[in-house]
Structure 1
Amino acid sequence: MKPLLSVSGLHVGFGRDPRANEIVHGVSFDLAAGETLAIVGESGSGKSVTALSINRLVDFGGGRITGGRIDFTRADGTAIDLAGASERELTKIRGGEIGMIFQEPMTSLNPVLTIGEQIEESFRLHRGLTGRQAKAAARDALERVRIPDAARRLKYCPHQLSGGMLQRVMIATALSCNPRLLIADEPTTALDVTVQAQIMALLAELKRETDMGMIFITHDIGLVAGIADKVMVMQAGEAVEQGSLDEILDTPRHPYTKHLLSAVPHFEAGRAARRDYSRPKTPATPALKVEGLTVRFPVTGGLLRRQTGAVHAVDGVDFDLMPGETLGIVGESGSGKSTTARAILGLVQPIRGDFTASSNDPAKPERNAVQMVFQNPYASLNPRLRVDSILAEPVVASGRKVDAEIKQRMEMLLDRVGLPRNALERYPHEFSGGQRQRLCIARALMLNPSVLVLDEAVSALDVSVQAKVLELLVDLQHDFGLAYLFVSHDMAVVERIAHRIAVVYAGQIVEIGDAAAILSDPRHSYTKSLIAAVPSIDRRREHFTLDTRQVPSLVRPLGFEPPPAEWRDIGADHRARLEA
C-alpha cells in the first residue's frame, strides 16, 4: 500500500550557500494514513526544520531543500513531490490537506485581527463557508478544544488570551479543515496536563474518523508513549535511531536515545517529592504571606461600552511561603495561577487582598524582596544590552549605583549559575536557551531577594537542560535560603522541585498542602483529574477520552461575590475545598 508521506534523503540548508550550511543531513522515513510518527530530540537537532520542509514553509525562513524527495499522496490518490512542487500547488495543499500547529502561537497569529476573523479565514479559503456559517464553524472549532465562552472569545485579539489559550486557538485553526496530514510542532508545550489530554483525545478522535496521519514533534517522552506508533530520534540534523514505539522505549540502541530517556523527569505520584525541608511547628515569619488576594478584569458591552460584569481571574487566594520552602502552583491555563504571581509582583493590580514579603536585608525596601524569573528566556533579555548591563538593570531601578561591590556580586552570581565571568562582556544571542535562563536567574538574585517567583521557568527548555536548571535552583535555595513560588503545568517537574503544592481551579485554590500527600492522595475532584491526565512512559498507546463537559466561565455579573470557602482537613498539612 502506498504511504501517505514518504521522505527520502532529505537535505536542508540555510543562507546564501545552503549546501555549505546544511542543517538536515539525509533524513528518510515513511508515514502511513492513520499512523503517528513522533520526532524527538533537543533544540538544534533539526526536528522542526524537517517538519517545516514537508510543506515547504522552510522556504520562507531562508532555508532551501538541497536534496531528496517528499512524496505526498493527495486525497484524489495522485502523488506529488513536495520538494519540487510549485508555490501554486503548495498553496492548495497547505491548510487543506496538510495542517500545521506551530510551537509559538504569538508569532503565528496576526496581532491586529480578532481570533474569530483568523479562524473564519481557514473555513472561507478551504471549505467555502461565508458569513454566519463561517462564524458558527469558528465557534464550534473553539468549543472542540475546550475554550470557555467561545462566542465571546471570538471577538478577542491574541494579546487578550493566555499562552495556553492561544495554543488551543492554533490547534482549532489547524484542525478546522480535517487535514489528511497534521504536523504538530510541540503543540502542547504551553498547555496544562488536563487540556493536553483533551487535545490528545481530540487528535485521536480525528485520526479514527478521517484516517489522518500525524507527525508529532515533542521532547515529552511520556506524551510520545501515549500517542505514537513510530519514533524517530534526531541529533545534529541526523536521524540517529528510528523504529516502533516499544523498540525505542524498551530497547534503545543509540547512546543519545538512552541519554534522552534518562533525562526525562517521570511522574511518580509523590514518591519523588522533595523531603529536604520541614515546616517549623512553632509560628515563624513567612517569607511571603498572601491573604484574600482578588483580581478582576472588567467586561464591557453595549454602545457606550459600559461595564456589564467582571472576569474573576483570582478570587480570595490565601497561602504563606516560608524561607527555604518551595510552593508549586498548578492548574490549567486560565485558572489564575500566573495572574496570582503577577499580582504579587505588582504587574497586575488586585482589587483587594494583602500580601507581605520579608526582606533578607532589613536595610533594603520590602519591594525588592520578591523577584521574578519569566518563562521565555529569549524574550526576557534585551538583545541590545551586554550581560553586565542586564544584571545591573534591577540595581539601577532600585536607585543604587553600579559600584565595585555590585560588580563583585555579578561575578559571584555568574559563578553560582555556572557561567564564566567573561559572560559579562557578551550579548544574549551568544548563549543557549539554558544559559539565558541562568542569566535570568542571576539577574533576579542581584537584589538579594527572599522570594523568587518562577513562572513556567523551565518549560521552554530541553529535558536535559531542564534537569540542570532544576538542580541549580535547588542548590541556590540551600545556599541563599530562598523561598520559591513555582508556577508550572508540568506535574513531573513540580514533583521534583516543590515541598508544598497549591492547586488552582477557576481562580480559587481548591487543594493545598504537602506535595507528597497531595500527589499520592488527592482529594478534590479537579486535583484527581489533573493527576490522572499526567502522561507517563509506562502508559503506552493510551486511549484518550474526549471530555465534552463545559469549562466553567470566570465571567460573573456586576456585584457577584462567591460564597466563603469551606475546607476539610485531611492531614497535618493537607486540606481540600468542599465541593458543591
Structure 2
Amino acid sequence: MTLLSVRDLRVGFGREGHETEVVHGVDFDVTAGETLAIVGESGSGKSVTAMAINRLIDFGGGRILGGRATFDRKIDLATASEGQMQRLRGREIGMIFQEPMTSLNPVLKVGTQIGEVFRKQHGLSGRAVRDASIRALDRVRIPDAARRLDQAPHQMSGGMLQRVMIAIALAGEPRLLIADEPTTALDVTIQAQIMGLLAELKRDTGTGLIFITHDIGLVAGLADRIMVMRGGEAVENGAADQVLDRPAHDYTRHLLGAVPHFRAGQAARTDGARTGQVPALDVRGLSVRFPVGGGFLRKTRGVVHAVDGVSFDLVPGETLGIVGESGSGKSTTARAILDLVRPSAGRIETGGTAAVQMVFQNPNASLNPRMTVRGLLAEPVIAAGQNVDADVLERMRTLLGRVDLPDDLDRFPHEFSGGQRQRLCIARALMLNPKVLVLDEAVSALDVSVQAKVLDLLVDLQREFGLAYLFVSHDMAVVERIAHRIAVLYAGRIVEVGAARDVLSSPRHPYTQKLISAIPSIDRRRIDYTLDTEEVPSLLRPVGFVPPDQTWQEVGPDHRVAKEPLS
C-alpha cells in the first residue's frame, strides 16, 4: 500500500509572493515497509524536501509553493491545516534530526523529554512513564539507561544524544519515519545497531522509511529505492541495485566515486618513519574521572572512569588514528591533551602551550558568526599574548592560500560552504605553528566529496610542515586513508594498537574485529540486520575502585593487543 505519494513538490523560502524556489518539482512514492534513500550533498534540497513533508518548513520561513504530498491516500500534507499536522507529527509521521543538540532542550533532563512522548501520545503516567523511557533507551543500546534519564543533554556524548533522539522518534510508533542523517555522528557499531533498529521497526510494524544521507555505502544495506538530488532536483530515482550498479546520471557516478572504500588495511599509509624521532606528543597513564553525585546532600556515589591508563606517543609527520564507540573515551582523551578537561592522573608532554591545537567536528559551532576571517584567525595569536602585526596578517593570507581559500580577510563564516569553513578552522589551528593537531571528528560532518578534499589537504599540510596528527574518528574507511598507526579504545582503555595496515588487515582483539565487521559497503545489499543486545560495560565505578593493570601481547613488530577482557 502506498503510504506517501509526492508529485511535483515545489518548495520556496522568502516573503510571500517573492519566494526563492529551492526544490523544483520532486516526485516519489513510499510504500508501507519500504525504505527510500534520498542522497545528495549539502544544499541539494534533500532535508528541505523531508521537512516539507511534515510542514516543519512553515516555521523557518519556507512554504510549499505547489504540488501534492498525499499521506495514507487521503490527506494532502501540502494543504493540511496546522491542527491536522499537529495530530500527524510524532504519532503518524516521525522525524529523526541530524543535530541532536539543536533538537533537545538543553535545560530539561533526558528522561523528561522522552517521557513527554509517552505521556502525550500513549497516555502513560507516573512510574509507567519512567519504565517506558528506560526501555526506550535500552532499545537504542545506551548503557546505564536509568541513570541517563536524570542527565541533561550536555552531560552526554554526541553519539548518545543521537540515540536519545532516535529513541524519542521510535517511542511514537509512527507509520512513516523520516530519518535525516541519523547516523552521521555515530561510530560503525552503533550505526549498525541503528540500522538494525530501523530494520526491526520495518519488519514488525510495516513502517515506511525515508532515509536521508550523503553516505551511499550506508544505504546500500537498507534501501529498496534511491533518489539522488542535486540543486533541488531529483536527478535520478530508481531501484537501489539499478542506481548503485548502473547509475545513469553523471552526478550519481560522482557521488559513488567519492565514497571512501574500506580495503582492510591495503589503503593505509606507509610513508611515516618513527625510528629515532623525538615524540611531539607523549602521553603516559592518562586517566580522566568524573564524580557522580546523588542522594542526601549530593554525596558522591560513584566515579565515571571515562579514560583509564591510556598511553601512546606521536612523532612528527605521523598520524595516530583513535577509534572506538561513542563513549569509549576518544574525545575525552583529545580534550584532556588540550587541558579542556582536567586529567585525574598521568602525564602529557608537549613542546609548550602553543604546540598543540585542535580542530573540532562542527565548523559552524567553532566559528563565531559575528567575526570576520581576520578576527577568527587572530584569536589564537591574541590568546597567546602576541600582537597582530604585519607579519601575522601575512601569515593569515599565506595559510588561507594554503588551504585553498580566498585571502579576503573581511568575509564572514556564513559566506563560506561547510567544507570551506572547516578549511578555515584548519588555517586558524595553524596560526601558531603547532607541532600537533588534534582533529576530533574533523571531517565527519562533511559531504563525501568535500571530505576527500579535506583529507588530501591534511596529508599535504602534514608533509609540508611535519605536523603530527591525533585523528579521532568513528569512520574506519576515513581512518584507513590518513592514519599511519591506530589505537582502538574500548570503555576508556586502549585494547589494540599498532600500524594501521596490521590492525585493519589482521585485527586481534574481539572488539576491533567487531568494529571492522560493522563497516558499511556498497557491495553489501539488503543486509538482514539483527539487533545486537550485548551490553556495553558501564564506566560507573564505586568510589575508590582501582582498575586492574592491563597485560599486553605482542603480535607483530608494531602491533600489540590487550590480553584480558574489561569487566
TM-score for the superposition, normalised by structure 1: 0.96
Write the distance in 2 (CA, Å) between the matches of 1:503 and 1:136. Answer: 34
Tell me, what secondary structure is at the counterpart of 1:421? coil
Alignment partner of 1:209 is 2:204: yes
- Structure 1 residue 494: deviation in Å? 0.4
Structure 1 counterpart of 2:380, which letter?
P
Q: 1:464 aligns with which of 449, 474, 485?
A: 449
Task: Identify the residue that residue 477 of structure 1 maps to in structure 2.
Answer: 462
Q: Which residue of structure 2 lines up, in the alignment, with residue 54 of structure 1?
A: 53
The offset of 1:579, in angstroms, is 2.7
Match of 1:279 among 248, 252, 274: 274
Indicate the SS of the match to 1:453.
strand
How big is the shift at 1:536? Answer: 0.5
Structure 2 distance, partners of 1:544, 1:133, is 30
Matches within 5 A, 1:173-184: 173-184=168-179
Matched residues in 2 for 1:30 and 1:309: separation?
52
The 1:115–1:18 alpha-carbon spacing in structure 2 relative to 1, beyond 3 Å, is farther
> Which residue of structure 2 aligns with residue 100 of structure 1?
95
2:71 maps to 72
CA distance in 1, matches of 2:258, 2:217: 12
Determine the C-alpha separation between the residues in 2 that align with 1:58 and 1:535: 32
Q: 1:289 — aligned with what?
A: 282
Residue number in structure 1 paired with 2:317: 324
Q: 2: CA distance between counterparts of 1:469 and 1:24?
A: 28
Give the residue type in structure 1 aligned to 2:494.
Answer: I
Aligned partners of 2:172, 2:274: CA distance in 1, in Å? 54
Output one character per residue of 1:277-325: Cα deviation in whole Å (capped at 9) or x when no partner.
2321x4x310100000000000111121011110000000000001000
After TM superposition, the structure 1 stretch with the greater mean CA deviation from structure 2, 380-389 or 530-539, is: 380-389
2:131 corresponds to 1:131? no
Q: Is this contact kept in 1: 2:218–2:520, CA < 8 A?
A: yes
Cα distance change, pair 14–531 in 1 and its aligned pair in 2 (3 A): same
**Residue 5 of structure 2 is aligned to residue 6 of structure 1:** yes
Once residues 172 and 134 of structure 2 are traced to their aligned partners in structure 1, the CA distance between those partners, rounded to angstroms, is 14
Structure 1 pair 18–102 and aligned structure 2 pair: CA distance change class (3 A):
farther
CA distance in 1, matches of 2:411, 2:339: 31
Taking the aligned partners of 2:343 and 2:149, their CA distance within structure 1 comes to 26
Contact 2:550–2:564 (Cα < 8 Å) also in 1: no
Query: One-letter code of the match for 2:449?
Result: S
| Residue 170, structure 1, aligned to residue 165, structure 2 | yes
Q: Which residue of 1 aligns with 2:538?
A: 553
What is the alpha-carbon distance in structure 2 between the residues aligned to residue 196 and residue 579 of structure 1? 26
Instruction: Classify 1:574/1:166 alpha carbon distance in 2 versus 1 (closer, same or farther; 3 Å).
Output: same
User: In terms of mean alpha carbon deviation, does 179-188 or 13-22 score higher?
Assistant: 13-22
Q: Of 348, 352, 368, which residue of structure 1 is paired with 2:354? A: 368
Kindly state the Cα deviation for residue 19 of structure 1 after the two structures are TM-superposed: 5.8
Name the aligned partner's letter for residue 158 of structure 2. Answer: G
* 1:414 aligns to 2:400 (yes or no): yes
Gaps of 5+ in 1: 359-365
**Residue type at the aligned position of 1:199:** I
1:226 is matched by which residue type in structure 2?
A: G
- How far residue 220 of structure 1 moved from its aligned partner, in angstroms, is 0.9
Q: 1:85 is paired with a residue of what secondary structure?
A: coil
The question of whether the paired residues in 2 share the 8 Å contact of 1:18 and 1:66 is answered with no
Match of 1:31 in 2: 30
> Which among 295, 298, 309 is matched to residue 305 of structure 1?
298
Pairing 1:367-386 to 2, within 5 Å after superposition: 367-386=353-372
Match of 2:186 among 188, 191, 198: 191
Q: Which residue of 1 aligns with 2:346?
A: 353
Q: Which residue of 2 aligns with 1:436?
A: 421
Aligned partner of 2:167: which letter?
A
Find the partner of 1:260 among 255, 259, 271. Answer: 255
Tell me the secondary structure at the aligned position of residue 349 of structure 1. Answer: coil
CA distance in 1, matches of 2:399, 2:347: 32
Higher mean displacement: 129-138 or 227-236: 129-138
Q: Is contact 1:13-1:19 (8 Å) kept? A: no
Matches within 5 A, 1:215-254: 215-254=210-249
Aligned-partner Cα distance in 2 for 1:349–1:411:
35
RMSD of equivalent CA atoms = 0.9
Query: Alpha-carbon deviation of 1:17?
Result: 3.9
Q: By how many angstroms is 1:18 displaced?
A: 6.0
* 1:18–1:568 distance in 2 versus 1, CA, 3 Å: farther
TM-score, structure 2 normalization? 0.99
* In the alignment, structure 1 residue 533 sits paired with structure 2 residue 518: yes
Name which of 376, 379, 384 aligns with 1:390: 376
Deviation at 1:34, TM superposition (A): 0.3
Structure-2 separation of matches of 1:159 and 1:186 = 21
Letter in 1 for 2:555: I
Displacement of 1:188 in angstroms is 0.4
**1:207 alignment partner, SS class:** helix
Residue 500 of structure 2 corresponds to residue 515 of structure 1: yes
3-state secondary structure, aligned to 2:221: helix
Contact 1:18 1:64 in 2 (8 A): no
Worse-matched range after superposition: 166-175 or 88-97: 88-97
Letter in 1 for 2:528: H
Shift of 1:216: 0.0
- Secondary structure at the aligned position of 1:165 is classed as helix
Per-residue deviation, residues 556-576 of structure 1 (Å, max 9, x unmatched): 000001100000011000100
